[in-house]
């Protein structure tokens, strides 16, 4: 045991290189966490858990339990990534719902303001998760309003085609003449309306699925109780016989 502690204390886990997930760099960038620190932290926790394995071998624990423990070590290593991935997916779902609502408010302001002014007025009403990037976008539009990358880079880390399409429409609205601007505005309103309807339908379907699942739980509980009672009854009859 002392030998294991000595080896563990002198082992530099930060230099150990394991294969990282393909999208880990992107997830750390979006969630604003340091990649090296993230990898070092989960490596440290995994190694502390793996330290128990030699004791299982020494105590001659069945090999099936040893394999299960190795699977547990793998889960411990993967768990922080899974939490990071779940957080990103939650942010994407929230953005899918909140962005078109803010975009509809922006379209109302565009009828009497420029794109930069409309964004600046709508900034307090924007979703909390995009306000920082929105402030940078407003500043970039003021500096280079005719550069399309200024618009397409906005929220590009979330990889949502709907956001990219909406920003391209805003670029066209800001670039075309007065006659075509009305057409572009109507196109944005139509696209946003479809997006809002789709998100509301998806939200309702999700809530409906959860409601149905909770409704099935009592039936499953009754079924389990019935099966247990049947097993007890059959066992009782067999003991009497």
Distance of CA 225 to the CA centre of its chain: 38
Distances (CA, A) of 215 to 203, 207, 221, 226: 18, 12, 11, 18
Confidence band of 7 (pLDDT split at 50, 70, 90): very low
Gap between the Cα atoms of 215 and 58, Å rounded: 49
Both 104 and 63 in one domain: the answer is: no
43-71 pLDDT per residue, tens = 899 888 888 888 888 888 888 888 898 89
pTM (two decimals) = 0.69
Please indicate, yes or no, if residue 11 is contained in any of the structural domains.
no
Number of compact structural domains in the chain: 2
Both 192 and 97 in one domain: the answer is: yes
Both 117 and 54 in one domain: the answer is: no
Q: Where is the domain boundary, 90, 119, 145?
A: 90
Encoded tokens for 221:
């509980």
> Domain range spanning residue 63?
21-90
pLDDT at 163 over 50: yes
Encoded tokens for 198:
């789709």
Both 167 and 99 in one domain: the answer is: yes
User: DSSP state, 128?
Assistant: G
Please indicate, yes or no, if residue 210 is contained in any of the structural domains.
no
């Amino acid at each position: 045991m002392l030998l294991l502690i000595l080896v563990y204390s002198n082992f530099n886990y930060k230099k150990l290189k394991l294969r990282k997930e393909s999208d880990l760099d992107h997830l750390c960038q979006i969630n604003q966490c340091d990649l090296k620190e993230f990898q070092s932290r989960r490596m440290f926790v995994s190694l502390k858990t793996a330290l128990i394995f030699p004791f299982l071998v020494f105590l001659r624990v069945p090999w099936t339990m040893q394999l299960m423990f190795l699977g547990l070590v793998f889960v411990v290593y993967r768990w922080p990534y899974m939490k990071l991935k779940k957080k990103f997916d939650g942010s994407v779902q929230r953005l899918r719902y909140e962005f078109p609502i803010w975009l509809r408010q922006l379209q109302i302001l565009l009828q009497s303001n420029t794109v930069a002014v409309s964004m600046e007025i709508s900034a307090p009403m924007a979703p909390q998760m995009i306000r920082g990037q929105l402030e940078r976008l407003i500043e970039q539009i003021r500096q280079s309003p005719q550069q399309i990358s200024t618009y397409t880079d906005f929220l590009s880390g979330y990889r949502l085609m709907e956001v990219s399409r909406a920003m391209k429409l805003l670029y066209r609205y800001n670039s075309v003449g007065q006659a075509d601007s009305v057409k572009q505005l109507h196109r944005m309103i139509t696209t946003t309306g479809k997006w809002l309807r789709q998100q509301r339908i998806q939200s309702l379907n999700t809530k409906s699925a959860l409601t149905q699942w909770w409704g099935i739980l009592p039936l499953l509980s009754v079924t389990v109780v019935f099966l247990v009672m049947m097993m007890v009854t059959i066992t009782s009859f067999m003991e009497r016989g």
